[in-house]
Structure 1
Amino acid sequence: MLSRLETMVLMGLSIPIPAIRRQIASGIDIMVHLSRMRDKSRKVLEILEIDGYDIPSSEIRTHPLFEFEESGEDKDGRLTGRLKKVGCLSHTQKLRRAGISTEDM
């Protein structure tokens, strides 16, 4: 998704990639990755937190919060599974300012 955003910006403007990545990293907090599965259903496969922009590597830093864990198929051949928590939300300032408790995150 991040590379698609970069490509769309480049199609309209002539801006250096590091500048585009810094803007994306500062403008997006959470990324939800949906995908079509082999049974033709769509599932949330991953939820990531954007950690910012890493100057030395010129990359956007991310870390996973949840990942889809497949458990099999039901009797109709549909995939089953759940989102498994794999990380904790680190940037909670905006939530706290909005009055949202971050104790369980």
Structure 2
Amino acid sequence: MYVLRCVIPIEDNAELRLQGIQNLVRLEARNANLEGKGAITIRDLIKSALRMRPNRIIVGEIRSEEAIDMLQALNTGHSGSLSTGHANSPEDMLSRIETMVLMGMEVPLSAIQRQIASGIDLIVHVGRLRDKSRKVLEITEVIGYQQERILLQPLFCYEEKGEREGRIEGEWKKVHDLVFQDKLLAAGCDTEGDPEAGG
């Protein structure tokens, strides 16, 4: 069984309620004071977190150039870390990450795309439907980088079946199998779905 030694959630305002983790270090950003000093940004906190040798870093939401530091964390042995962001689709989220990185660093777009393809494994797209409900609409795997674009493959999609009493009804459809199962196995997960095996 894989044991998490250290998990570090990083947020603007502490909202996550994580339980059952022995070594949990919460970091919270701080605005500047009236003199314009003393600010602690998400970027500062990600850099500090990397010095603590965590198993997982959880960034509440990326909105700006902190995307650079999150990508670097994902590409330096902190796989399994996660963050959230706002976009209309998995493809749009990748475009937003590219834009956010460019806000803080001048690097070729291809270099950013390679970092994204190497660091991000899965994108879970949550959307609001017309009945105002929120649902997981798609789970997509990032499978590589070819011909100057990031390759995505949907694993599961939510398919609407109609409406009942003003509520949208639907079901999950499996579209493809996970390509990179080796990462799950390395993390102690059983790809056959046996909850007793793995962590």
Asked if TM exceeds 0.5, the reply is: yes
- Count of residue pairs brought into register by the alignment: 101
In the TM superposition, 1:50-89 aligns within 5 A as 50-54=142-146, 57-75=147-165, 77-89=166-178
Pairwise CA RMSD: 1.2
| Higher RCO (CA < 8 A, seq sep 6+) | 1
One-letter amino acid matched to 1:13: M
1:22 and 2:111 aligned: no
> SS where residue 151 of structure 2 aligns?
strand
Deviations 1:37-92 (A, max 9, x none): 111222111111100111xx2000111100111011121x1111122111100101
* 1:2 shift after superposition: 0.4
State the alpha-carbon separation in 1 of the partners of residues 153 and 143 from structure 2: 7
| Gap runs ≥5 in structure 2 | 1-92, 194-199
1:99 and 2:188 aligned: yes
* 1:29 shift after superposition: 0.4
* 1:5 shift after superposition: 0.5
Flag the structure with larger Rg. Answer: 2
For normalisation by structure 2, the TM-score amounts to: 0.49
| Gap runs ≥5 in structure 1 | none
Q: Which residue does 1:48 correspond to in 2? A: 140
Q: Write 1 or 2 for the structure with the bigger share of strand.
A: 1
> SS where residue 70 of structure 1 aligns?
strand
Matched residues, percent identical? 58
* 1:103 shift after superposition: 3.2
